[in-house]
A and B are shown apart, each in its own frame.
Chain A
Amino acid sequence: MATAILPKPPARRSRKARHDTIVFYLCVAPWVIGFIAFTLGPMLYSLYISFTEWGMLKPPVWVGMANYTRAFQDPDFYISLKVTSFFTVFSIPVSLLTALFLAILLNEATRGVGFFRTAFYMPAIVASVAAAVLWTWILNPKYGPVNGLLRVFGLPGPNWFSDPKYVIWGFIMMSAWNVGGQMLIFLAGLKGIPKALYEAAEIDGGGRWPRFWKITLPMLSSTLFFNFVMAVIGSFQTFDIAYVISTARSGTLGGPAKATLFYMIYIYSLAFKGFNSMGYATALAWILFIIILILTLIVLRTSSLWVYYESEKEG
């Protein structure tokens, strides 16, 4: 095997090297122990729970794969997947484009950059519960500014958060508003593009659009990639805003009419509101883990097709 081609270890390792190794392991021990005790341990335990029927108050009962097969026969499982995917598919492009647009504006601006950067970033530091309550007012059917604006154009505004047809679009609007974090990362990426590239293009007579498509976008692709991956993961884990808005508005988690039954909301309602369904909820959490893992792998594998790393090309 592989050991055959390895050089023989020195007969006696130096005292210092051995001490170094011990010190290394001792130094990382707190993190390793923390990882085992607070991450790996609970994860393995939850994997075990996912094969049981458990209501938290009595000992879990082993049911084998029953929870996993139940998921695929559960209409609410598919509804929650549909709601979550629909939100992901629309909210990510909308929020990424908004963030990129704002970042470019800020990058071009010469005056008041500090003010606008703060203003656009502000939603990111607003507690999500407060933001959700704020949006119930912005999208208030009678007194909200959005419907007020629609009325100016003679359009009847819907009852956003109580109408099963429109509620998800209300959430997508919210995601376009809360782009401060993504915007800052884009801005940092824009600042990192060498000015010389633009100067060269200008000398060659490249206009604004060609410069954007041929320089800005390729040079920003790794930033875009990072934001995209984080946004996919984040949107699959949407919980807090949906929790606040659905309980405040329809009195039901995931309401109205299951239109905001995000995957995490479904897991939560099974785990803590359901009867004896902590095990099933845990199984759904593992299914989500696998879904996110697969999606992230797909994005990572295809990234070489559309992400440009300067260092790689040079190397």
Chain B
Amino acid sequence: MYKQFRPSGSFHQISSRLFLLVVVALVAACAAPVAQQTGGAASGGQAAASGPTSIRISCWESGDALEPFKNSIDAFQKENTNIKVSLECIPQEYGTKLLAQLAAGSGPDIFQVGDGDVAKYVQQGAVQPLDDYINGKDGLDMNVFYPNVAKFGQVAGKTYFLTKDYSPLILFYNKKLFDDAKVEYPNENWTWDDLAAAAQKLTKADGSQWGIQLPDSWGDLTWLRGALPIIYQNGGSVVSEDGKTTTGHMNSPETVQAIQWYADLVLKDKVAPNKADIDALQGVDLFQTGKVAMLWTGRWPMKDFQSNKDLKFGTTTLPAGPKGKANALCWAGFTINSASKNKDTAWKFLKYIAAGDGAKQFANYALTAVKSVADSQNLAKDEYNAPVIKVLDDVKPLPEFTTPLWADCGDKAYKAAMEEIFLKGTAVQTALDSAAKDADACLAK
């Protein structure tokens, strides 16, 4: 080969060969992206005639949370030998990757979406309305789901998503720390004052123990979802029902008072770890290590806590505020890619994991929206889960439902205000006034 490229060879021969090489390279370069683009979405369609249809499902889970996916895919494939389901999970930057895949036309057939992105994907036309499938030949009775939960997957009366799992916020408490301090365990009749008083007694002056960690288990003081119950418990709100105004909602007296109560626990009473405490103890589970006596968060750490033999804990509902009980859900669902080439097959699998036998697998890991499955688990009688089921009646709608711009405008402004309060010590009213102003300006665009 090398020899032929030496000047002694015929130039004519060489150049024509090189020309051929370049043409081949060009064809390959141009063909590659096309092949990639169609390969992802259409491979199943082409294969349908000769072999099994394949569909792809993507999620953001990792670790133990992948078990229900693997188990239900295995079981589904055994029943449907002509369908192959491949699982693609991306625990970090899932949204970024999914967006890029969808834009490139190589998105998965079924994908997981969080409550905050529901409106956004619907507005962008990326997800398939499911009503035709629900009412079709291979249909689904929507009455099998808890209506309060199933509604998270609907936008303007149409169903786009079926529930994967969800969790309200509950209160965990460490029995040993309560016993040591001779404080009565939290119960469902508690009010804000009861919680604050107990937290005070459970806080040690040397900084080795706090009464409560809130509003989540990972230490993000600016997380709105965790603080929403507080706002709702005081009769406050963050945005108008039409999703256009936050002034008079995010900075209403009720909301300001609620956030003041929350901020005081951290900044004034110091019964909850502040930002510096959380940062200093980065990576430490404050509840399991006995650094906090109560934890205000979702149901997700329950399994870990139950498998910790040294930890004696209980759960109860969030306390009632001046305006009574209120809660907010964290919700995830599945949808079908509107550009999928195998929607019928995707629907079959989606139905299986959301309402069929697959849903039982997911129920082992997190709360299911299927009534019959939940009943068979007897969660309402379970020591740890009873409060979780109980608070489902208190769940209020999310600001995310009102506008696809919520994350960009409302949530951003709220986070900025909370940073002002917790990091700079800005007054709650001042911070929320300016947040409402910023959010309104942003929503008006």
Q: Which residues of A contact B (CB under 8 A)?
A: 16, 19, 22-23, 26-27, 29-30, 33, 37, 55-58, 136-137, 140-143, 159, 161-164, 248-252, 255-258, 272-275, 277
Contact = CB atoms under 8 A, between A and B. Distances in A.
A30 B22 contact: yes
B95 A273 contact: yes
Nearest to B10: A19
A58 B415 CA distance: 29
Interface of B: 11-12, 14-15, 18-19, 22, 25-26, 29, 95-96, 99-100, 102-103, 120-121, 124-126, 220, 222-223, 275-276, 279-282, 404-405, 407-408, 415-416, 419-420, 423-424
A275 B19 CA distance: 47
Contacts of A250: 222, 419
B279 A57 contact: no
Contacts of A137: 282
B22 A140 contact: no
A164 B405 CA distance: 27
A129 B424 CA distance: 28
A252 B25 contact: no
B419 A255 contact: yes
A140 B424 contact: no
A248 B25 CA distance: 44
Contact of A256 (B14, B19, B423): B423
Nearest to B445: A70
A248 B404 CA distance: 26
A19 B25 contact: no
A250 B14 CA distance: 62
Contact of B25 (A33, A164, A249): A33
Contacts of B14: 23
A58 B276 CA distance: 43
Given A26-B22, A56-B102, A159-B280, 15 more contacts: A19-B15, A56-B124, A57-B99, A58-B124, A136-B282, A140-B280, A141-B280, A142-B276, A143-B280, A162-B275, A250-B419, A252-B222, A256-B419, A273-B95, A277-B408
A258 B416 contact: yes
Contact of A272 (B25, B96, B102, B223): B96
A161 B280 CA distance: 11
A57 B339 CA distance: 10
B99 A142 contact: no
- A-B pairs, top 6 by smallest CB distance, nearest first, are A142-B280, A56-B103, A57-B124, A19-B11, A251-B220, A159-B276
Contacts of A258: 416
